[in-house]
Structure 1
């Protein structure tokens, strides 16, 4: 299988190489002399390996791990020698597909494998820590009331707003709190909260399934007066993120942080042949993923708290939360993240096997050992019911669900001085929106049954 030739194509963001070219049809791996079948890369990735493209310009080649025995005649050997790039007997450097057979993995990992994702820049980068984890600051900071203008932490995230959080734990959370503050205290985000609290921005409509609904008409911008903040709220969250950050801070004196990465591989029953190099020692990249994911949770949960305080729903006539845009499900936290960052960040994960500790999934979400992806449809292919609009159901049921891996370099740049002193003041939150690289996406294509599209769905 020939490789992409990146030197003839425009460069991808953050220096990401082009992905391996995956065929739509492959020889059935279940049978030695089987015919061609449609590839489902969540199932068939494990049958393929990859290497760096020989051109040296980036990108990958792939080949099946098992091929029929080659013609060893002198004529065939001479032909292969003349065209080394097409020789399908090269050594595999990276394994595609699920890192273990005994547990289900998220589509992106099941498709590309951990080693390819790592080599491409979606997992660990040897960059160390950014020059400052405390760099984020909001665009609204210079316009705040005088009494709290100098504090980059948003008032709702001050230490006295947290339950039973001591000075050490608050220090651990500070990078995520500053990033969440910068996202929250920005005109792009304020437009949503203004719409929530302003009846003139409410639009009622009737859905044949849900009944009377309300959609927000989010303004594109606000006046100085409209940007004024309102009351505080109290937030209580799980301590898994704080524990992960504390363990990272203590990694030079205790092994708890590194032990987690070793243990999670064992829990997932990961095959040694599928583990990226230095997975258990390159630990700074995972810290940045933890901080970004926790910041997103803070903003998400604050959206719900704000809605409960300000969004009018007399006598329970409407759904608890409003709709934003063309979403079929009124989940305000997800809708806000989609509005300000173009996607909802999620840690790549596997389904823990029977007998695994109950905290396995929650810890994986906090430590994010396998990278991060963003999604746009957070409840794909859901039927009408339980708060889902009838409108838009056909489009939902016929379109794929897509996951994009997040370049680790983008997360690193969130904590650089240049991002907050140059790029955000110039471009606003557009500078932070998640980069979506189509070449690296996984698409779960709905199955043939329009009533149950998840049945026989496949990853492309």
Structure 2
């Protein structure tokens, strides 16, 4: 496409700040007009790179204009009055394949300038701040009075040193706060309920399936019973460090494996047809978390991020500003906390959900809420956070799966969540997806919402947990900033358009 083939016009958004101090994005048009007079909705995966932005002087919004790549001055101007642009939109290497949609649309440098990647702060970070709404009740039953939930304590981590355990404390406290909530107790009460209390339905491909019934509230006795089941998990599972290669050579940041006896049989947990497990976490997470208190060694994240950008051939002028160590570390702690609860949910389910070893095999786990996918770890995090945090990553051949997984540990380029979360999921050994309505489900628009870095950092602010004590988990739900959303729209031929 030639530079002069596109024209744009649009209405600027009102000045003002969005949630967490995020400015308004560049006002992109709903249609673009070509030189022959035709117009169509733009596919920003293709056309975003033709636009440049700057932060509007004296405002709270980004200006946007077309870039003239034939301008001999190198300033991309069409007219003398065109202002110098600071941020070129689109994939930072002009190859959108491999980048996640928020980066394909806005570019790394603009996302960073808006506050979705780095948020340097001189304020002291209180990693001890997370404190769940149900924590006072839990500590009444927990004679140790420790802040960390019994299922995350040091005894649950074979071969971990005290120094390493202290290093992962920020994530442990955040994961504890997630478990220490009445709503979370309702979830685990439902997951551990007898099969007779679940809804039975039949899928044409999966056979008979079960869906849990989540109560709105629990009595004090029921809450104590769920807590006791959680504590019993100290006998049914462990947390371990491992390289990224999980079962069946699948690369993963974490996984939960059934424990087998000498004859390769499942070892029962709470009763017949249940299973003891072992949870494995990537050693890269430990490496990152171990460096969190050490501000003098920022190379671990900065160097890794630079390697990814250099491998993609990203020019210096398209790179974000210097990566902020604290911002990256807090993203790692945030993602690690979600991973801890995710994997604990799998282990808890295997310990209490009765699943006979039949042929054909029954679904691994029950379904939660109205999800099509029974990936229980994701379903639990969705209930707790209102979305499933995922990373802005680059995956492109010849990158290995291990290199992509490493990005999940170092979290260099920010976080997003998407809705629907499971629209492209397919049945595999690790998850089952309801076949009914699959075509309709996969024909929906999938929206990616970048998460403000300030929201991630707010998870370690005392004020946030004061709000949680009053309002519960609603106070920490992932915040949608629709103005910055990237919409992936399915087309008639199976292709997708980025809006």
Q: 1:94 aligns with which of 79, 87, 90?
A: 87
TM-score of the two chains, using structure 2 as the length reference = 0.80
Partners in 2 of 1:399 and 1:179 — Cα distance?
Answer: 33
Instruction: Check conservation: 2:301, 2:410, Cα contact below 8 A.
Output: no
Does the C-alpha gap of structure 1 residues 302 and 253 become closer, same or farther in structure 2, counting only changes over 3 Å? closer
- Say which of 342, 346, 349 aligns to 2:390: 346
Q: What is aligned with 2:264?
A: none
Within the alignment, does 1:234 sit opposite 2:227 as a pair? Answer: no
Report what 1:219 is aligned to. Answer: 215
Q: Which of 392, 405, 423 is matched with 2:437 structurally? A: 392
Closer/same/farther in 2, CA of residues 33 and 376 from structure 1, 3 Å limit: closer
Task: Give the Cα–Cα distance (whole angstroms) in 2 for the partners of residues 305 and 43 of structure 1.
Answer: 43
2:373–2:434 CA contact under 8 A, matched in 1: yes
Query: What is the CA deviation profile of residues 418-442 of structure 1, one whole-angstrom value per residue up to 9, with x for unaligned ones?
Result: 222x211011111111001111111
In the alignment, the residues of structure 1 paired with residue 422 and residue 438 of structure 2 have an alpha-carbon distance, to the nearest angstrom, of 12
Q: Counterpart in 2 of 1:6?
A: 14
With over 3 angstroms needed to count, the CA separation of the structure-2 counterparts of 1:382 and 1:265, relative to structure 1, is: closer
Residue in 2 that maps onto 1:84: none
Q: How does 1:32-111 map to 2 (within 5 A)?
A: 35-54=38-57, 56-66=58-68, 89-101=82-94, 104-111=98-105
Ranges in structure 2 where 5+ consecutive residues have no aligned partner: 1-8, 72-77, 240-279
1:439 to 1:256, Cα distance in 2 relative to 1, 3 A: closer
1:353/1:53 Cα in 2 relative to 1: closer, same or farther (>3 Å)? Answer: same
| Residue in structure 2 matched with residue 17 of structure 1 by the alignment | 23
Structure 2 partner of 1:74 = none
**Cα RMSD, aligned residues only:** 2.5
**1:6-58 Cα shifts (integer Å, max 9, x gaps):** 23x7x521121122222232246xxx87854431112221121111235x231
Aligned pair partner of 1:368 in 391, 395, 411: 411
Q: CA deviation at 1:383?
A: 6.4
User: Following the alignment from structure 1 to structure 2, what is the Cα–Cα distance between the partners of residues 187 and 33?
Assistant: 61
Shift of 1:313: 2.3
Q: Aligned to 2:491, what secondary structure does the other structure show?
A: coil
Q: CA deviation at 1:201?
A: 3.7
- Aligned partners of 1:6 and 1:57 also within 8 Å: no
Matched positions, count: 430
* 1:265-344 → structure 2 map (5 Å cutoff): 265-279=309-323, 282-316=324-358, 318-344=362-388
Change (3 A) 1:2 1:130: farther
Verify the 8 A CA contact 1:3 1:60 in the aligned structure 2: no
Matching residue of 1:458: 497
Give the structure 2 partner of residue 246 of structure 1. 290
Partner residue, 2:250: none
Tell me the TM-score normalized by structure 1: 0.87
Question: Secondary structure of 1:344's match?
Answer: coil
Where does structure 1 lack aligned partners over 5 or more consecutive residues?
A: 70-76, 82-86, 450-454
What SS does the corresponding residue of 2:282 show, helix, strand or coil? coil
Cα 1:68–1:269 change in 2 (3 A) is: closer
Q: Distance in 1 between matches of 2:306 and 2:344?
A: 34
Q: Where do 4+ consecutive residues of structure 1 move more than 6 Å?
A: 383-386
Deviations, residues 205-240 of structure 1 (Å, cap 9, x unaligned): 122232211001101111111112111231231111
